[in-house]
Amino acid sequence: MPFGFKLMISYCVFIIIPVMLVGYIANQVFIQSIREQTTNNIQGTLLQMSDNISYRMGDIVRVSDMLYFDSSFNNRLRYSESAYVSYDTMVNVLMPKLETAISTANSKVWLSIYLSNENLGEVYNNYSYSDPLDSNTRLFDIYQYNRLIDKTWYKQYPQEESYGTTMEWKQIENDADNGRISLLRRLIDINSIKLQEIGFVRINVSLKDMFDSVDYNKIGDGTALYLADSQGSVILSSGEMQTSVAFRENELRNNGDLLISKPIPELDWNLVAVVPADIVEKDTVKIRNLTLLICIVCIGIFFVVSLLVSRYFSRRVSKIVSVLDSFQEGEFHKRAHFKGNDEFTHISSALNEMGSNIGKLINEVYLADLQKKQAELESLHAQINPHFLYNTLSSISRLARFGMLDKLQRMVMDLAKFYRLSLNDGRNIIPVKDELEQAQAYVDIQKIKYDERMQVTYDFAPEVVRYETVKLILQPFIENVLEHAWTGESIHIRITASVLDDVLEFKVIDNGVGFPPGRVLNNIGGQELTNAGYGIKNVDQRIKLYYGNEYGVTLFSRAGIGTTVRIVIPLEKRTVAEGRNKPL
């Protein structure tokens, strides 16, 4: 297949897909905009409905407040008196106050009051065959407490926390069947600080009266409005729905219907508006058709343009191919030149620059290799520490002079083990296990010297032994602690090794003097650490040369608290190329 034809096909593909994608996105954005606008409008309507419901509920609460905070009513319920006085209280005080409270409500309510004062009688109607709210009789009843205390809903009613704050809206007994809801509230002795209960009030109100503002016509034709409880069951509805089934939120969302909810603060209920998807998207049909037409016209124009462009570029590609063939043969000194300022001019410039960069890279790799070898030489110098060897031999001599043969033997064996692991057949990459053993050998030598003044703990994760590391990265930091970090007569050192994500982390932690205040030690190669020791800087340089600048050594220190040395290298299993371990 000719290159020009391939180029034309690729142009068509890369043009058709974006055009179709843009058309699709534009249509979706328009639909989303309509949905958001509809949502905002409906949310405003639901807010008004919710405020109206809150006002209606507040009206019923005010009826209960008239009884709760009426001191004379409260006193009459509290005191026990003779039968005649109690009857007079019932007829001339309690019943008129109940009538007055009911008359203040804007909705028709049925009030039931339960009294703990046994001297007060009961006054109630028989509602066996009718709904009290539908009757023309008295709309309040007075009962004794013994009718209440065994009811399940009363046992579950919360205790009074403070005066006038505990009340509950709930559907109890036959409220749900009769389309009612009840306001439940204790009557508390307001003259006592013990929150003593002297009665209980239940005010019934019709759901239709309470929620008469729930009307789907306020949202629009074809919509539905629901009043659902916390389990999703429909309490009240306006529009097309079945109140006998639970509210199917997931099903409505899967159908693409717009579902908007507004909680009612006083109830654990929600006002839910449902707008079918076809109503929301009916205005998008014209936009969808117009977008499709524009996409078809654009695709046709782009097809013709791509044909002309592909023919133009195919004639110039062959010139680039010849230069690439020369590069493939290793002739990077050859250059390509084009007139103009089009893509081929940029390609020729890029090819010319690539030839120059390859030469530079060869030089950089050569210099990096020299630096690497230099670092390895420095590592060998750091391995054989004459100062450490001199001090150790002096300690051996002192032990021999005092006849401490056991310590003398241990120090000689640890010294031999240390230098055996340090040399390690001239290899620079060694197993982590050997590096940890070398650090332990060095610590064992120093513990013979410092005895109980030096405490060392190890925390090595078992999985670290599967990996390899640049050798001699822990000993310089342990030595630095013993040289510079002493505070008082003792020092504690903690050495850890662990695997974190894709890196291997070592830490050397001491409780020594730390660094002076004001010094931030985040760069081993920085000027501030020139006195930290040649071996310490050498560790960071060798790690960066082997693994890259993102790895290395970081120090954290606070004066008087101690220093933490963190060494991070990449995870490398114990299968390293032979050339990397060759001695210099």
Residue 262, φ and ψ in degrees, nearest 5: -140, 115
3-class DSSP string for 525-562 = CCHHHCCCCHHHHHHHHHHHHHHCCCCEEEEEEECCCE
Tokens 């009857």, located at residue:
87
| DSSP states of 346-390 | HHHHHHHHHHHHHHHHHHHHHHHHHHHHHHHHHHHHHHS-HHHHH
Q: How far apart are CA 512 and CA 563, in angstroms?
A: 7
Q: Specify whether the CB–CB gap between 307 and 268 falls below 8 A.
A: no
Nearest Cα residue to 448 out of 489, 394, 488, 487: 394
Please give the pLDDT value at position 425: 67
pLDDT at res. 52? 83
C-alpha distances out from residue 498 to 132, 297, 495, 541, Å: 77, 63, 10, 22
- Positions in the chain short of pLDDT 70: 1-4, 80-85, 126-131, 134-138, 216, 239-256, 283, 327, 330-332, 359, 362, 366, 370, 373-387, 424-426, 517-535, 574-584
- Identify the pLDDT of residue 43: 83
Instruction: Identify the pLDDT of residue 467.
Output: 94
**So what's the pLDDT on residue 135?**
66
pLDDT at 551: 93
Q: What is the pLDDT of residue 12?
A: 73
Task: Give the 3-state DSSP-derived string for 378-446, with helices as H, strands as E and coil as C.
Answer: HHHHHHCCHHHHHHHHHHHHHHHHCCCHHHHHHHHHHHHHHHHHHHHHHCCEEEHHHHHHHHHHHHHHH
Kindly report the average pLDDT of the chain as a whole number: 78
3-state secondary structure of 204: strand
Q: Which amino acid is at 420?
A: R
Per-residue tokens: 351: 């090819």
Q: What ranges make up the beta strands (E) of 156-247?
A: 167-170, 180-188, 197-206, 224-228, 234-238
Q: Can you give the pTM of this predicted structure?
A: 0.46
Backbone phi, psi, residue 330, to 5°: 90, 5
